[in-house]
Amino acid sequence: MCARIINNVRYILCCYNMKKIILGLMVVGMLCSCQEKKSERFEREAREFTEKNCPQHLDPITTLDSLVFEPAGVGTLKQYYTLDLDDESREAFMNKLGEIGDTNLKIVKNSVLFIKHKDAGVTFSYIYFDAATGDKLVQYDFMEEQYK
């Protein structure tokens, strides 16, 4: 009789623990489904930044037109710039493409604002257009192995 009571108590406790485990898994599942994926968050944040801050005149010749996150692969955070250059400035810019690329890479490496993106291995693109012609002047793409 005593053994039978003990077995019934074990069965009840086992069922009670199973209910707790199942309930716990359901709660975790609901929480996970409510979380935004990193790529979706990066895309939303870039769109919101663009809507609130662009175009942003950084100096007399440089305008940040938009920030766009493209989620394909590990994702690419693209920064689109327009440069209002006269002929002399255009020539100087084109002669310093290497230095400009190095500067942009340093910005990515040292940026606190992009920590989440860097942790996710996102590619960073800086794309420069000529305001007068609309032509693309240069594009710099920095992958994880370059900025880590």
Summarised one tens digit per residue, pLDDT across range 102-127 is: 999 999 999 999 999 999 999 999 99
Q: Which pLDDT value is given to residue 69?
A: 97
> Do residue 57 and residue 111 come from a single domain?
yes
Per-residue pLDDT reduced to its tens digit, 14-54: 544 444 444 444 444 444 445 679 999 999 999 999 999 99
Domain count of the fold of the chain: 2
Domain containing residue 28 = 1-35
> Do residue 42 and residue 31 come from a single domain?
no
Pairing of strands 136-142, 123-130: antiparallel
In DSSP terms, 129 is beta-bridged to 82, 136
> Do residue 65 and residue 22 come from a single domain?
no
Strands (E), 8-145: 56-57, 62-70, 76-83, 123-130, 136-142
Q: CATH number for the domain including 46? A: 3.30.300.250
Confidence of residue 4 (pLDDT cuts 50, 70, 90): low
